[in-house]
Structure 1
Amino acid sequence: MGEQDRDDTVLKGRHRAMWASGDYAAVAAEVIPALGPVLVEACGVRAGQRVLDVAAGSGNAAIPAALAGADVVASDLTPELLEIGRADAAARGAELEWRTADAEALPFGDAAFDVVLSCVGVMFAPHHREAAGELVRVCRPGGTIGLVSWTPEGFIGQMFAAMKPYAPPPPPGAQPPPLWGDPGHVAGLLGDRVEELAAVRRTVRIDRFGKPAEFRDFFKERYGPTITAYRNLGGDPERAAALDEALDDLARRHDLGGGAMEWEYLLVTARKRG
């Protein structure tokens, strides 16, 4: 194994551990449950189609796709999230396959799926071009690629900017996740391998939190990137207090009243060239 391969293995191990920490499934189920069905509808998923959900987490999009009658594979780097999704799917009467997989090296054949989608998932793969290449590769000619990604200007993009001074430095070559919410960036990643590309900014209403401190504490306990930022502080109470205030201020600035917020995302659909 070369040095680059070893570095990549370490990086992916850290990503797995980050998303296994806390309780991302609670974030998906309690905060943003609407996003998966939005993406499934935008991709026109229907019975009989072969669908791949990349970086599926606990199945926010994969389970609705399966309930629509599609033949679905949910893939994710973090097996702990897949286990939660498997139990949720069984409880909801959804049948689908769960596979541990790296979004930058998917273990599927070329042109294997009619629809390839990802709901605020593939955006967290560190190497954007490699991940985009895999999305296109496993989609059949004429098939649909669909993505939901947080925008740089929206709430989650701003949250990552607020956490950046406190988080570990990104590894060499890794790109910021919210870039996937920039239409120009996504168009550049997919290039001329797709056609009929549509990118629309939308918002999802969040009313899970009554006040800023509730949002901060929820993410501090459950959201892997936020947990990692706090752990990076090494127990420094002053820096922890500063990060607390940065997150509280973010929530205050987005408060529409009573704790409700609108979080912006980019919905992308495209057709793979035949």
Structure 2
Amino acid sequence: MTTQDSATATDRTLKAKHRAMWAQGDYPSLAAEVIPGLGAVLVEACGVHPGQRVLDVGAGSGNAAIPAALAGADVIASDLTPELFGAGRLAAEKQGADLTWQEADAEDLPFADAAFDTVLSCVGVMFAPHHQQASDELIRVCRPGGTIGLLSWTPQGFIGRMFAAMKPYAPPPPPGAQPPPLWGDVNHVRALLGDRDRVTDVHTERGTARVDHFATPEAFRDYFKERYGPTITVYKNIADDPDRVAALDRALVDLGRDGDLGTGPDGTILEWEYLLLTARRAG
């Protein structure tokens, strides 16, 4: 086997693992119950309107794709994990949204150059392991003058801290893979997008998603252990070590307690910070 063939086989194995990670648990219910309005925030920031052709990368079950379709755009919801599409189709039908669902790798999108007026991703493309490849693809498929919009969890925010808490218990990352929350770092994502020959009119702002779904920090931990693919994967990695499982249990509960605003009479109140970025493709 040549070096190129070996690299290709390794990449296929990595993508298969990513697809399996997100297929386990129940991410569609998490997205619908915990962060239901996040996609609409991104769609509004991108100015999506009727007649546009829109691509949602890492669409999952359509948190951003469905609001974009309801805004009148012609939308393709793409994701590496088509197992998530079933829930998305049901949600779209219930809301009266018409859109297309297509399996696609964010690092190798099966679309022509400059095919879309708006290319967006709501806490989706940030989980592609090779950040520069994914960023290059976002730019490639966006038409000159079109909009690129990204909403990503920040490293210092709640979800970024959750990934930091899980890291000591996680399987070693594959060579070249970068941590997802780096997409929420302004300097990192600006470097990915490049200079004015690639994008212009870059605008960034931080926001927070207010989460009041969990009665207690323990309920937050148990919910993610059951539904969230990355958390499930980490627990599987240490399943044969009860001491490490107990330590991670404590770490996640401590995170929930530390993040609790203490203002909810009926449960834990959390604020999850994200970075919202919009830009235009140059040319």
Could you say whether these structures have the same fold, taking a TM-score greater than 0.5 normalized by the shorter chain as the test? yes
| Aligned twin of 1:232 | 237
Distance 1:234 1:208 in 2: 27
Structure 1 position 245 matched with structure 2 position 250: yes
Of 250, 272, 277, the match for 1:263: 272
| Aligned twin of 2:136 | 133
Aligned to 2:208, what secondary structure does the other structure show?
A: strand
Matched to 2:179, the amino acid is P
Of 85, 88, 96, the match for 2:88: 85
How far does the alpha carbon of each residue in 1:195-244 deviate from its partner, in whole angstroms, 9 at most, with x for none?
01011111110000111001000000000000000000033211111000
Of 22, 25, 31, the match for 2:25: 22
| Aligned twin of 1:214 | 219
Distance 2:240 2:229 in 1: 17
Distance 1:272 1:9 in 2: 30
Unaligned runs of 5+ residues in structure 1 are none
Runs (4+) of structure 1 exceeding 6 A deviation are none
Aligned to 1:164, what secondary structure does the other structure show?
A: helix
Instruction: Determine if contact 2:239/2:245 at 8 Å carries over to the other structure.
Output: no
Shifted more, 229-238 versus 208-217: the winner is 229-238
Of 108, 111, 128, the match for 1:108: 111
Structure 1 position 75 matched with structure 2 position 78: yes
Structure 1 position 62 matched with structure 2 position 71: no
Q: Displacement of 1:82 after TM fit? A: 1.5
Distance 1:172 1:135 in 2: 22
| Aligned twin of 1:35 | 38
Unaligned runs of 5+ residues in structure 2 are none
Q: Displacement of 1:91 after TM fit? A: 1.6
What percent of counterpart residues are identical? Answer: 70
How far does the alpha carbon of each residue in 1:124-161 deviate from its partner, in whole angstroms, 9 at most, with x for none?
00000000000000000000000000000000000000
Distance 1:73 1:211 in 2: 37
RMSD over aligned Cα, in angstroms?
Answer: 0.7
Aligned to 2:168, what secondary structure does the other structure show?
A: coil
